[in-house]
A = this chain, B = another copy of it.
Amino acid sequence: MEKTKSPLGYRFAAMASGIKPSGKADLGLIVSDIPANCTGVFTQNRIIAAPLQVTKPRIAAGKCQAILVNSGNANACTGSPGLKVAEDCGALVTENLGFAPELVAVASTGVIGQPLSMDPFISSMSELAEKLDNQSADDVAEAMMTTDRFAKVSFADGNINGHPYRILGLAKGAGMIHPNMATMLGFVMTDADLGPAQLQRLLGPAVENSFNSITVDGDTSTNDMVLLLANGAAKNTIVVAGSDDEEQFAASLQQVLTDLAKMIVRDGEGATKLAEIKVVGAQSCEQARIVAKAVATSSLVKTAFFGEDANWGRIIAAVGYAGVEVDPENIDILFDEVMVAKDGLYVGSQVEEPATAVLKKSEFCVTINLHQGGGYASYYTSDLTYEYVKINADYRS
């Protein structure tokens, strides 16, 4: 497989350190040639894993030069010994690469509540550092996998005053019924030149419209984090806040994150379809998000997608319990361009064939128009293809 392109000034390494009993790759390292400006988004879970406790204040300081990530053990609920492991792991990187410990971010994903030993890190670190010149972001993405069926990498580029820049994103996470319940890690690197506060301002909305649009807000694992690094190695003019350049950069960033988020949805076990649940005409974008989420996480809706059944009744039922005031007699539902319900009522049997044709596609959009205002939001979801859905997918009797 061809290597994913990479922004300038970053190097990557990955290997099997023995944390995973399977012997698969479980350790990854990302290094920027110079300290990068950075920002991050971290779990909302009340229980915060050791690596996040170590990494959060470092990222908050605005500079990062290396990310060390392991899979196979989350180093969560491991008490003060776990905290020491997270700190010592960072120190190992420092020793081997020679830069300040506060520039090292550490991340873990895997089983919670099992002690994480330093041994695999100690025995692997020098070899890992040596690999930095010969490996790619794809290798790191692979070493981050837990229940993931495939590694997740996305790349976008653009230019500022004719000077090209690049954005690369790696993610880990498999979309399940509640995708948020498994750890989601995202590492995004660019060679454009942006400041920490600027990065923070851009990362928030980009995460909201991507990773947080496949997961339930606040319902996150003990280990979730998204880091964004900008090392300026493209040597283009700094991206001026509020400029068209910044807007273009923000769009590229959004593209990378949405791409990764969709990959996470597609990685739901057995998922065969990717559906956008688009709510429009809501009283506010916030209300639209609430409704979109209720529909996107409805297992009955998801099983209907699998059954390729234009079962709009399940959709409107989910709209009804979302907790938002709606007017049942003023709701339209479309599968792509095909309207199946108008003013809360079935359009008629003539729509069954075209609506079913939409559902047979591997990617489609369900639009729900609440006719209340200008609020809109999209959530991404997959079909539920488990054995049990045979009951629900065919269920119209």
Write the residues of chain A forming the contact surface with B, with a CB cutoff of 8 angstroms: 20-22, 24, 44-47, 72, 74, 76-79, 110-115, 146-147, 174, 176-178, 180-182, 218-222, 268-270, 298-300, 311-314, 316-326, 328-329, 341, 344-346, 386-388, 391-392, 395-397
Whether the Cβ atoms of A114 and B321 lie closer than 8 Å is no
Decide if A395 touches B112 in the complex (CB within 8 Å): no
**Contact in complex: B147, A77 (CB < 8 Å):** no
Residues of B within 8 A of A178 (CB): 298-299
Q: Is B328 touching A77 in the complex (CB atoms < 8 A)?
A: yes
Q: Are A46 and B328 CB-contacts (below 8 A) given A21-B397, A181-B318?
A: yes
**Complex contact B299–A176 (CB within 8 A):** yes
Min CB gap A181→B, angstroms: 5
Interchain CA distance A221-B317 in the complex, whole Å: 6
Q: Are B115 and A346 in contact (CB under 8 A)?
A: yes
Contacts of A174 in B (CB 8 A): 391
With A317-B181, A321-B218, A345-B79 given, is the CB distance from A396 to B111 under 8 Å?
yes
| Contact A47 B320, CB 8 Å, known A111-B396, A346-B114 | yes
CA distance A344 to B82 in the complex (A): 13
Nearest chain B CB to A18's CB is how many angstroms away? Answer: 11
Q: State in angstroms the CA–CA spacing of A391 and B268 once bound together.
A: 11
Asked if B45 and A312 sit within 8 Å, CB to CB, the answer is no
A180, A313, A321, most chain B CB atoms within 10 A: A321
* Identical chains bound together, number: 2
B77 touching A110, Cβ below 8 Å: no
Across the interface, do A112 and B328 meet the contact criterion of CB distance under 8 Å?
A: no
Asked if A47 and B319 make an inter-chain contact with CB atoms under 8 angstroms apart, the answer reads yes
| A392 in contact with B147 (CB, 8 Å) | yes
Closest Cβ of chain B to A302, distance in Å, is: 9
Residues on the B chain within 8 Å of A112, using CB: 311, 313-314, 316-317
Say yes or no: A147 contacts B391, CB within 8 Å: yes
A77–B341 contact, CB under 8 A?
Answer: yes
The complex places the Cα of A146 from the Cα of B386 at a distance, in Å, of 19
In the bound complex, CA of A178 to CA of B318 (Å): 11
Measured between beta carbons, the chain B residues less than 8 angstroms from A321 are: 44-46, 180-181, 218-221
5 A-B pairs with the lowest CB-CB distances in the bound complex, closest first? A112-B313, A269-B388, A47-B320, A386-B386, A113-B313
Quick one: given A72-B397, A177-B299, A397-B72, are A222 and B317 in contact (CB under 8 Å)? yes
Q: A397–B322 Cα gap in the complex (Å)?
A: 36
Interchain CB contact under 8 A, B325 and A77: no
Cα(A329)–Cα(B220), bound, Å: 19
Instruction: Give the docked Cα–Cα distance between A324 and B218 (Å).
Output: 11
Once the chains bind, are A299 and B181 in contact (CB under 8 Å)? yes
12 A-B pairs with CB atoms under 8 Å apart are A46-B321, A110-B397, A113-B346, A115-B346, A147-B392, A178-B298, A178-B299, A181-B298, A181-B300, A220-B321, A222-B316, A269-B388
Nearest residue (CB) in B for A325 is B46
Closest-CB distance, A149 to chain B (whole angstroms)? 8
Which residues of chain B come closer than 8 Å to A46, judged between CB atoms?
319-322, 324-326, 328
Q: How far is the CB of A175 from chain B (nearest CB, A)?
A: 11
Asked whether, in the complex, the Cβ of B74 is within 8 Å of the Cβ of A313, the reply is yes
CA distance A177 to B318 in the complex (A): 14
Question: How far apart sit A28 and B98, CA to CA, in the bound complex (Å)?
Answer: 78
The reply to whether A111 and B147 form a contact with Cβ atoms under 8 Å apart is no
Q: Which residues of B contact A44 (CB under 8 A)?
A: 321
Across the interface, name the chain B residue whose C-beta is closest to A395.
B147
- Looking at A22, A300, A314, A397, the one whose CB has the most chain B CB atoms below 10 A away is A397
A394 to chain B, nearest CB (A): 10
